[in-house]
């Protein structure tokens, strides 16, 4: 099983980034795909998720700014982030979760929001 995130980087407040996660080694279409983030000294947050049925959910603080989408043909999930704020800065992780709540994690990608 492998989850590889990309797309992180440095962006100014108000800017945009799109994170991508490429999955392999499991039946992608049967898994809920989530994006978590963790900043130093803070709790880990579930930022966005899309179930295998296509239902999406978002952390309240990112609603209207972030969009998660998955492509089951390409085994990818992305997180488009607009209007980024300093409090969005964190390491972002792609996680695959099955119906038994077993999880696979990517290595994470750093998002820095700073002027």
* 29-57 confidence digits (pLDDT tens): 999 999 999 999 999 999 999 999 999 99
Which pLDDT belongs to residue 54? 93
Which pLDDT belongs to residue 105? 96
* 10-29 confidence digits (pLDDT tens): 999 999 999 999 999 999 99
Please check whether residue 27 is in contact with residue 9, taking contact to mean a CB–CB distance below 8 angstroms: no
* 57-109 confidence digits (pLDDT tens): 999 999 999 999 999 999 999 999 999 999 999 999 999 999 898 999 999 99
């Amino acid at each position: 099983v492998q989850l590889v995130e990309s797309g992180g980087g440095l962006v100014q407040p108000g800017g945009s980034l799109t994170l991508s996660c490429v999955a392999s080694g499991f039946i992608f279409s049967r898994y809920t795909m989530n994006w978590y983030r963790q900043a130093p000294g803070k709790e880990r947050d579930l930022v966005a998720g899309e179930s295998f049925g296509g239902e999406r959910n978002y952390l309240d603080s990112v609603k209207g700014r972030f969009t998660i989408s998955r492509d089951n043909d390409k085994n990818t999930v992305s997180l488009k982030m607009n209007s980024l704020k300093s409090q969005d800065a964190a390491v972002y992780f792609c996680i695959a979760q099955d119906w038994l709540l077993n999880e696979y994690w990517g290595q994470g990608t750093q998002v820095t929001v700073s002027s």
